[in-house]
A = this chain, B = another copy of it.
Amino acid sequence: MRAVDVERGEAVFVPLTRSVRHLIDATIRTEVDDETVFAARALIERATELLAAQMIPGSFGVHPTTEGGTVAWGNVAIGIRNPVAPPLVIHQDADGSVHTDVDLGAACEGPPGHVHGGLCALILDHMLGATAHQPGNPAFTGTLTVRYVQPTRLGRVHAEARVDRHEGIKTFAVGHIADADGTITVEAHGVFIRPKKTSAGGG
């Protein structure tokens, strides 16, 4: 697997991915005539041909970086190269809690004018996982419970999550989504399983 250059990746692929997100929005909302749709489609297919000339097999996965880290640029929640991802930009506080603010547009729709409940679940799944995971001490999602308090309007939303408590190999995390007015619309709690370390692992 080829190590990726983060600086080049951000300079080249972030603008590409942003352009594809704009195209996704226009694809959903366009009202132009058939001939114009066909012309746009021809351009899209030519662009795909150019990009597909050389591709990573399968999926992006996790790539090492030239700086010694790793990136998951294809991730459907946070991937900066995945046009489907909002993408979530997750901020971690000193206490391990996480938060994000993200704009959810036409591509996130469920009920008219509102965010799909399942997309709220996706965001909360990722946020709760992000706070439950610790470097070198991964946690796997056991269960996620999502409670829909009221519909979430499309637009800017805030999501946050924190660890509530640990019990043996289990970590309990909680979180919520709030709309632009600060009203909580969706709540979640999750149970994460932290595999026991072997003594050979150094503690």
Report B-chain residues with C-beta under 8 Å of the C-beta of A6: none
Tell me if A169 is interfacial: C-beta within 8 Å of chain B: no
Tell me if A184 is interfacial: C-beta within 8 Å of chain B: no
Complex Cα spacing A45 to B43, Å: 9
**Which of B32, B47, B56, B75 contacts A54 (CB under 8 A)?**
B32
Stoichiometry (number of copies): 2
Q: Is there contact, CB below 8 Å, between B60 and A109?
A: yes
Chain A interface residue number, banded: 35 or more
Report B-chain residues with C-beta under 8 Å of the C-beta of A61: 109, 112-113
A117 → B minimal CB distance (Å): 5
Complex Cα spacing A140 to B117, Å: 10
If A43-B50, A146-B121 touch, whether A62 touches B126 (CB-CB below 8 Å) is no
Highest count of chain B CB atoms <10 Å: which of A19, A23, A28, A144: A28
A165 → B minimal CB distance (Å): 19
Tell me if A89 is interfacial: C-beta within 8 Å of chain B: no
**Which of B45, B79, B112, B118 contacts A122 (CB under 8 A)?**
B118
Q: Is there contact, CB below 8 Å, between A110 and B75?
A: yes
Q: Is there contact, CB below 8 Å, between A48 and B23?
A: yes
Kindly supply a per-residue 1/0 record for chain A positions 1-40, scoring 1 wherever the CB is within 8 Å of any chain B CB and 0 otherwise.
0100000100011011101101110111111101011111
Q: Is there contact, CB below 8 Å, between B54 and A30?
A: yes
Complex Cα spacing A141 to B117, Å: 8
Report B-chain residues with C-beta under 8 Å of the C-beta of A12: 34, 37-38
Interface residues of A (CB under 8 A from B): 2, 8, 12-13, 15-17, 19-20, 22-24, 26-32, 34, 36-41, 43-48, 50-56, 58-62, 72-77, 79, 81-84, 105-110, 112-113, 116-119, 121-126, 129, 140-148, 154
